Amino acid sequence: MPKSRVRPPTPSRESRHRLPTPSSRRGLMTQDAVGATLPPHNDVAIGDGGHALLRERLRPYQTPSLVRSLAQLATSVLPFIGCWALMVLSLDISYAVTLLLAVPAAGFLVRIFIIQHDCGHGAFFRSPRANDAIGTLCGVMTLTPYANWWRQHAGHHANWNNLDRRNSGYDIYSSCLTLDEYNALGHRERLFHRLLRYPVVALILLPPLVFLVLYRFPFDTPSDWRQERLSVHKPT
């Protein structure tokens, strides 16, 4: 007899409308980070007053450093602009030089995206407005609609490998399967599931599709996310 196929539950799309708004993002992220269960360490006993001690130990790492943030911003954006300018000038010399300069430029662009990511979590500056302003600026350089991206990204964190809230449509990594569910899939479904997560596909082929195509159209953005939908077409 053929195996019965176990399908993971599909939650209602209403859960996507319950994600944090810009005004509540910083508080939510801070609570999630501090309230996370960490392994016991020396005199810290989880569940026996240990959480309070952990919060106290983590407190110094919760406050952004303005000096470090500005230094990271300067050492990422300025070199990227410099590489970009040199690449333009090198077009009259040799395409090989242009491609060679693209390597460090790509590295600095990754750093800029990391800054954008931290701004989205409300962790780069103390001011939410500063985080959103710098995050939006970084999004222009990384070809990412910042407001739409960070709210979708918050959903990614809220649903990451959560069996009760998976298949929410945020990304392929949130739609996990149990071993029994995977074994119950047909051959083609297994192949497709593994293909999307294969390193060459997930790290090389999919990113250009996401940044150059999917981020240009808010097809998966709820209609009441007005600010987020607007950010797809307008950087500010």
H-type helices in 160-235, by residue range? 179-184, 187-197, 199-200, 206-212, 226-233
Q: Report residue 111 as tokens.
A: 């750093």
pLDDT in tens, 161-184: 777 776 655 566 667 788 898 999
Residue of 142, 188, 27 whose CA lies nearest to 35: 27
The amino acid present at 5, given as its one-letter code, is R
CB 90 within 8 A of CB 102: no
The amino acid present at 60, given as its one-letter code, is P
pLDDT in tens, 9-50: 444 444 444 455 544 454 444 334 333 433 444 444 455 567
Question: What integer best gives the mean pLDDT of the chain?
Answer: 78
Distance between first and last Cα of the chain: 58
pLDDT score, position 168: 57
pLDDT in tens, 217-229: 887 777 888 888 8
pLDDT score, position 108: 97
pLDDT score, position 172: 60
What global pTM score does this model have?
Answer: 0.71
User: Using CA of residue 89, residue 91, residue 96, residue 101, what is the dihedral sign?
Assistant: positive
